[in-house]
């Protein structure tokens, strides 16, 4: 089994460095082009199923990629982006963004999803996907935040302070994990 992971294409909020957890922001023109390029890169890969976040930026990316793959798309709520709660829409410079992504500090917020709870949600979903589709090759289309626990699931959690620095995918970057 192989799991491919890609992050959605660029949005205007990505450009502004604005956190967009559960806010349903669409792809911008660059994001659409990035998805088309990723579609070309993946067209010769054997992918059986796309598992996709239900947020519009991921859905549109998956639809564009699937123009070449022609496989079923399954929408999975548990690979939606981390819930940023009271931090939604803020610029990353307006709060301690590094601490927000520090697994060891595990800061609790009033509304935002705690990092260890977020990892647990993503890990359980990966366990479910692997158990449900053991003979299939899966493409996960999700978010930068989700790419962090996916990376850690397969590689372990690094010791560094800000996991985004070492584990987060760029828009439409693709990684491949063997199970």
What is the C-alpha to C-alpha distance for residues 173 and 7, in angstroms, rounded to an integer? 6
DSSP notation for 15-79: HHTB--SSS-PPB-HHHHHHHHHHHHHHTTS---EEEE-SSHHHHHHHHHHHHHH---EEE-GGG
Cβ count near 94 (within 10 Å): 12
d(CA 138, CA 87): 32
End-to-end CA distance of the chain: 5
Task: Respond yes or no: is residue 8 known to be catalytic.
Answer: yes
**One of 33, 67, 81, 113 is an active-site residue; which one?**
81
Catalytic residue among 8, 33, 63, 88: 8
Q: Which residues does the annotation mark as catalytic?
A: 8, 81
């Amino acid at each position: 089994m192989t799991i491919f992971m890609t992050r959605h294409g660029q949005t205007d909020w990505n450009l502004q460095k604005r956190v967009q957890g559960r806010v349903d922001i669409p792809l911008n023109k660059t994001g659409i082009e990035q998805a088309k390029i990723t579609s070309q890169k993946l067209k010769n890969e054997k992918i059986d199923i796309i598992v996709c976040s239900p947020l519009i930026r991921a859905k549109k990316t998956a639809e564009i990629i699937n123009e070449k793959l022609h496989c079923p798309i399954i929408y999975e709520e548990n690979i939606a982006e981390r819930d940023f709660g009271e931090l939604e829409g803020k610029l990353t410079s307006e709060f301690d963004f590094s601490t927000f992504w520090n697994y060891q500090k595990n800061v609790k917020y009033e509304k935002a999803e705690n990092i260890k709870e977020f990892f647990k949600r993503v890990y359980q979903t990966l366990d479910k996907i692997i158990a449900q589709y053991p003979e299939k090759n899966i493409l996960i289309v999700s978010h930068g935040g989700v790419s962090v626990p996916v990376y850690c699931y397969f590689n372990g959690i690094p010791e560094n302070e800000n996991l985004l620095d070492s584990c987060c995918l760029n828009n439409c970057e693709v990684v491949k994990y063997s199970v």
